[in-house]
Structure 1
Amino acid sequence: MEFENIVTENNEGILHIIINRPKKLNALNRDTIQELHEAFTDAREDEEVKVVILTGSGEKAFVAGADISEFADFSAEEGRELAAKGQANLFDFVANFPKPVIAAVNGFALGGGLELAMAAHFRVASDNAKMGLPETSLGLIPGYGGTQRLPQLVGKGRAMEMIMTAGMIDAKQALQYNLVNHVCEPDELIEFTEKIAQKIMRNSLVAMSAAIRAVNANYEDGVNGFEVEISEFGSSFATEDFKEGTSAFLNKRKADFPGK
């Protein structure tokens, strides 16, 4: 599928989804959010895609925020609709995606950009990355899950400070805060992230999908994550991947998971 605002590249099971609006520092507008939704929907159905790496074009920005010009004159109701639709179509969609999603954060990840990176299952950053939620400087609050996911990742106090000051932290601070898992040189970012993806691909995608559901259940109100884990654990025994994985282990060979 051809897109105007993003580029997709499949490299031996690793799908790169690249936000490609360099003149706008890859800012998110409605069209880009829709295209990302379509790309992730296609990736979910494509059996050749095992892992998704999400990044921005160039070295200046992952995503420098939302396109403010699109909603500067919105009413309260339009604002609620904007947040609800964006969360459903992209941010929650990515967070609950059944295949591993890694955000490769190159440069600025601000506002909606940081919210998109946080929706990924984990993050790798270049050492020139800058991250923040500056919405309060616009008279807003984060609307794409930022007030929920940031405290989950960095703790309530640090999240409150970042949101209230509307300031940025650098990659080193993000690593200290557990906001990112790794930091590397900008020209090594994609290669480094691909190496992690390759390690992931050695394992059972069926099991990883179950693990994503179980881990996410811990953050859902009214859901007992332990019960979800027990259910997903039990269901794993009925999969072909379990049979292959245990057989390979017992026979001291490398597993070749069928993905079923």
Structure 2
Amino acid sequence: MSEQPYVKQQINNHIATIEFFHPAHNSLPGDLLAQLAETITKAGQNDEVKVIIMQSGGDRTFCAGASFTELISINDDKTGEIFFSGFANVINAMRKCPKFIIGRIQGKTVGGGVGLASAVDYCMATKYASIKLSELNIGIGPFVVGPAVERKLDLSGFSQIAIDANSFYDAEWARNKGLYMKVFEDVESLDEAVQAFAENLCTYNPEAMTEMKKVFWAGTENWDELLKERAKISGRLVLSAFTKKKLESYK
């Protein structure tokens, strides 16, 4: 029997490690997205927590993006908007969180997963952590995650991977573009570096880190409304004949 999906959190020595998992390559259905946003928000409000690590379970895919099972089941605009708003809520939870969030990317990440990696404050990965924005392949587009990805890759990098929706871009490309700060040979080296980095951050003044985070995210104050509008676009496009036919082919 396969493992059950989950979002869980552990707090040790002021470091909150938030982990999500889904047996379908760590794809994210609406319920997991809601749990993830809530867990991040609560960790940000917890005075015991100084730094957050965000990671996924397993040692292969970091995140396959949106749940195809849930995408196929969408049959009206409102349901589509609500589903895509799940990614918006996670990104906004990370944006508003007063604590630094370190991303630990162990493997390939696709679509919404690239958005999550882009919305952390400091991201480290293995050499296997190639990225792809595949949304255009199914007739949608990376509308909700776009602002976060563009913020990290700039418009040229974002447009490159959004248009070239069939291709994976390797971890070194992502590092050169500014998504990953460091790339490691294996998961063990990645975990050691992430833990050491988080422990070091815990020695800094929490108030200074909170003020720095405000500076880093300046100019994104409109994202609550912006990402909501982007979710409406995706929610409408997922109902198109093109997308419905494409999703059926993946069954």
TM-score range normalised by the length of the shorter chain: 0.7 to 0.9
Distance 2:39 2:205 in 1: 23
Question: Does the CA contact (< 8 Å) of 2:132 and 2:161 recur in 1?
Answer: yes
Q: TM-score, with normalisation over the residues of structure 2?
A: 0.80
Distance 2:38 2:162 in 1: 30
Please give the per-residue CA displacement for 1:60-99, whole angstroms capped at 9, x wherever unaligned: 11111110211223333432333335313x1111122100
Aligned-partner residue type, residue 124 of structure 1: M
* TM-aligned CA deviation for residue 20 of structure 1: 2.0
Residue in structure 2 matched with residue 50 of structure 1 by the alignment:
50
Residue pairs, 1:13-28, within 5 angstroms: 13-21=14-22, 23-28=23-28
Distance 1:203 1:82 in 2: 38
Q: TM-score, with normalisation over the residues of structure 1?
A: 0.77
Please give the per-residue CA displacement for 1:176-230, whole angstroms capped at 9, x wherever unaligned: 11111111122211210111112211111112112211221134469xxxxxxxx
* TM-aligned CA deviation for residue 39 of structure 1: 1.6
Distance 1:37 1:85 in 2: 8
Distance 2:151 2:43 in 1: 27
Please give the per-residue CA displacement for 1:121-154, whole angstroms capped at 9, x wherever unaligned: 121011111112110001011243x221222212
Pair 1:8–1:221, CA change in 2 (3 A): closer
Residue in structure 1 matched with residue 214 of structure 2 by the alignment:
213
Aligned-partner residue type, residue 34 of structure 2: Q
**Could you say which structure has the larger radius of gyration?**
1
Question: Does the CA contact (< 8 Å) of 2:34 and 2:86 recur in 1?
Answer: no
* TM-aligned CA deviation for residue 59 of structure 1: 1.4
* TM-aligned CA deviation for residue 38 of structure 1: 2.5
* TM-aligned CA deviation for residue 54 of structure 1: 0.6
Distance 1:74 1:210 in 2: 43
- State yes or no: 1:158 paired with 2:194: no
Residue pairs, 1:110-189, within 5 angstroms: 110-144=110-144, 146-166=145-165, 167-185=167-185, 186-189=187-190
Question: Does the CA contact (< 8 Å) of 2:117 and 2:179 recur in 1?
Answer: no
RMSD between aligned alpha carbons? 2.0
| Structure 1 residue ranges, 4+ long, deviating more than 6 angstroms after superposition | none
Residue pairs, 1:1-260, within 5 angstroms: 5-21=6-22, 23-72=23-72, 73-88=74-89, 90-144=90-144, 146-166=145-165, 167-185=167-185, 186-220=187-221
What residue ranges of structure 1 are gaps of 5+ in the alignment? 223-260
Residue in structure 1 matched with residue 230 of structure 2 by the alignment:
none
Distance 1:216 1:105 in 2: 21
